[in-house]
Amino acid sequence: MKPINKYTCHSGGAEGADACFEFFSKRYHINVVAYSYKTRFHQSENKYELNENEFNEGIKNVYKANEVLKRSRIHSYLKLLARNWFQVKYADEVFAVSTLKKQNEKLVVKGGTAWAIQMAVDAQKNVFVYDQEQLQWFYYDYYFGDFCILKTPPKITSLNFTGIGTRNINFFGMDAIEQLFKNTFG
């Protein structure tokens, strides 16, 4: 097994799934970087505040992701959305807890988590999403351009990974995160 203290979980420090990933990272002695930009609401002890150049880099990636997501009224959320780029940029694989929905015959992530997931897809990262309603892990298949059911539970295989997701995490989502860490680190 790789030395655990060399792992880093990149997250956003939000309540819900982000906080759950931080909790289990701490339990397994994994470093956490929780990205933020000029907000007093960010409570993570692992907060990293983006500087102006980083924020602007994040915004460029928000607009690129929106070419696919096609969402309106994003300007009021730019502080949150720009940080998502850094959750993805420094990680090799992305783990999220959310809900998937059908849109134009493809599965898409619901809510704000969709931004980080789309940025990860744009950057061709390994992407895994636990759907806490279907109680199933999915992975993004670049050949099909869609999410597919993962037949076996995932493991963290990269020293730098992203742990993110919905603020409205339920028991099954929390359990999926706990099992991800147990499957990986024993």
**Contact of 129 with 98, CB cutoff 8 Å:** yes
pTM for the structure as a whole? 0.94
Q: CA dist 32 to 12, 27, 111, 160, 163, Å?
A: 10, 11, 23, 10, 9
From 10-14, 44-48, 90-94, 137-141, the region with the lowest mean pLDDT: 44-48
User: Does residue 42 carry a pLDDT above 80?
Assistant: no
Instruction: Tell me whether strands 8-11 and 160-165 are parallel, antiparallel or unpaired.
Output: parallel
* Residues facing residue 34 across a β-bridge: 11, 47
User: Does residue 34 carry a pLDDT above 80?
Assistant: yes
**Contact of 81 with 74, CB cutoff 8 Å:** yes
The mean pLDDT of 71-99, rounded to a whole number, is 92
User: Does residue 93 carry a pLDDT above 90?
Assistant: yes
Instruction: Tell me whether strands 100-103 and 106-109 are parallel, antiparallel or unpaired.
Output: antiparallel
- Enter the DSSP assignment of 150: -
The mean pLDDT of 170-184, rounded to a whole number, is 97
User: Does residue 1 carry a pLDDT above 80?
Assistant: no
pLDDT digits (tens, 9 = 90+) for 95-149: 999 999 999 899 999 999 999 999 999 999 999 999 999 999 999 999 999 999 9
What is the per-residue pLDDT for 45? 78
| Confidence at 76, pLDDT banded by 50, 70, 90 | confident
The mean pLDDT of 151-170, rounded to a whole number, is 96
Domains and CATH numbers, the chain: 4-185 (3.40.50.450)
Distance between start and end Cα atoms, the chain: 9
**Contact of 159 with 172, CB cutoff 8 Å:** no
What is the per-residue pLDDT for 117? 98
Mean pLDDT computed over every residue of the chain: 92
**Long-range interactions of 98-105: CB distance < 8 A, separation 24+:** 98/17, 98/129, 98/130, 98/131, 98/132, 98/165, 98/166, 99/131, 99/132, 99/133, 99/166, 100/129, 100/131, 100/134, 100/138, 100/147
